[in-house]
Amino acid sequence: MDLFIQGFSLPTAITGHKGKIPNGSPKADVNVGTVWCDSATLTCNTTQYKLLDPIPSSFHINNKNNTILLYAPNVGGNNAGHTVVVEGKEYDFHLFPSGIINPKATSFIGNGVVIHLPGLFEEAEKNEKKGLKDWEKRLIISDRAHIVCDFHQAVDGLQEVQRQAQDGKNIGTTKKGIGPTYSSKASRTGLRVCDLLSDFDEFSSRFKNLAHQYQSMFPNLEVDIEGQLKKLKMYAEKIRPMVRDGTYPFVTSSNCTVGGVCTGLGVPPQNIGEVYGVVKAYTTRVGIGAFPTEQINEIGNLLQTRGHEWGVTTGRKRRCGWLDLVILRYAHMINGFTALALTKLDILDSLDEIKVGVAYRLNGKRIPYFPANQEILQKVEVEYEVMPGWKSDTTGARKWEDLPAKAQNYIRFVENHIGVPVKWVGVGKSRESMIELF
C-alpha cells in the first residue's frame, strides 16, 4: 500500500519544511493494490507520471492549493511487487516506493513496513542496471521499521511445511518472512532499524536470543548467526544516511492509534470525524520502560496518592511524573487530534509550582523528535517550563470562569505548545466534573 500525504505538516526531520503549510488540511489519498496487494503495472512518461506521481516533486508546495506530496509505502514488505514502465523501460519494485524513479521526488519507507535489507539492495542493483540513478539520495527509511532477518524467511518456509503436514494444505506465502517478522513485532522481540544503528553489541545479543527462540520452536532451523550479523553490520552503514525519525518493546501488542479504528473495526477512513486525545494533567505509566518526566520523589508520591494511580487491570502502582509535551506532540503527529480532553487537573491543586516537559536534550543538545530507541529515551534530559501552582480547590468548577487564572494559564500553555484546543477539562471523578469549553 502506498500513501500520498497531501496538505499535511510533516516533521521537519522528514520534510525539511518548518511549520504548517498555509491553508493546508490533512488529507490522505491511498493507492491500494486490490488483488492480494499485487499492484497493477503503471505506465507513465517522465513529464506526466500519471498515477505514479501526480505532482512531479515530493514536498512540492503548489501555490494554488498548497499541496505537499510524499510517496510512502506504509505496510508489508518485499512479498508483493509492482512494475512501472517509464519511456519503455520496466522497473520492478517490491520494497522501493514506485515514486523512487522520479528524480525530483523523495520517497519514504514507513514504520509499518518490514525490511529485508539484502532484498532492498538486490532490488536496487537490478533497477540500477535498468537506469535507476541516485536512489539513495531520495530514499528515507523510518528508524521504527522492523527488520526481516534471514531466519524469519526460513521460518516462513518451515511453517508452510508444517501446515501442509498438519492440515494437508498451506497458505501459499511468498516465504519472504513477512508473517514471522510481524509476529516478532507483536511479541515485542522484533528488531528495528534504530536497534541496528545504535549499540551493535546489544543488537547482536537480541538477534541471538530471537534466533535461539525460533530454533527452540523449529529444531531443524539452521541459522548462521555470525554470518548474518556480519552482513547486517555492513548494511547498517549503507542505510545510515537514509534513516530518519527519532517505545518499543514496552508497548501493547495492538494498534492504539486512530488508524486502529479503521483496521480494528472495519471503519473506512472517510467515516472518521473528530479525533479527541485524552490526556491527564500529569503523566503516568504502568510497568517498565523509559519515563523521562518520572518523579521518584515526594511529587511522584503525591500524584500517585491524590490521583489513586493503580492499574485497573493489574492492580499495579502507576509510576507518575510531570506532563510530557514531547510525547503528547508525538501522539498528535501520528493521530491528528482535533481537540484534547485534559483530565485530573484537580490532582495538581495543592502544588506550589508545576513543571511541564517541553523538550528533550541528548548530550547537551536539543533533539527535535521523540526517540524510538529505549536506550536513547532513558538517557535524555528533560527541559522543563516551570509554572506557578494555583493552590486552590478546582473540584467545584463547572465552567471555564470558575477555574483559577493560573489553572487557565496551564491549560492555555498546553494548547499553545501542542497546537490543539482543549475541549474538556476534568476536575473530578463524576461526569459533572468534566467542563466543556466549546
The residues annotated with a catalytic role in the active site are: 38, 82, 185
Residue 173 assigned ligand-binding role: no
> 265: exposed, middle or buried (C-beta count within 10 Å: 0-12, 13-18, 19+)?
exposed
Contact 378, 285 (CB under 8 A): no
**Strands 2-6 and 422-426, how do they pair?**
unpaired
**Strands 42-44 and 82-86, how do they pair?**
parallel
Residue 345 assigned ligand-binding role: yes
Residue 314 assigned ligand-binding role: yes
Amino acid letter for position 316: R
Residue 92 assigned ligand-binding role: no
Give the contacts of 298 (CB within 8 A, at least 6 positions apart): none
Rounded Cα gap, residues 394 and 403, in angstroms = 6
Give the contacts of 205 (CB within 8 A, at least 6 positions apart): none
Residue 133 assigned ligand-binding role: no
Rounded Cα gap, residues 67 and 230, in angstroms = 43
Residue 427 assigned ligand-binding role: yes
Q: 130: helix, coil or strand?
A: coil
Residue 189 assigned ligand-binding role: no
Residue 428 assigned ligand-binding role: yes
Grid look-up 494555583 returns 390
Grid look-up 507513465 returns 44
Rounded Cα gap, residues 303 and 91, in angstroms = 58
List the grid coordinates of 98: 514506485
Residue 80 assigned ligand-binding role: yes
Residue 312 assigned ligand-binding role: yes
Residue 252 assigned ligand-binding role: yes
Residue 76 assigned ligand-binding role: no
Q: Please tell me the number of Cα atoms within 13 Å of 240 on its side-chain side.
A: 10
**Closest Cα to residue 195, out of 374, 377, 378, 369?**
374
Write out the binding residues. Answer: 38, 79-83, 174, 188, 252, 312-318, 344-346, 426-428
Write out the binding residues for substrate. Answer: 312-318
Write out the binding residues for IMP. Answer: 79-82, 174, 188, 252, 316
Write out the binding residues for GTP. Answer: 81-83, 318, 344-346, 426-428
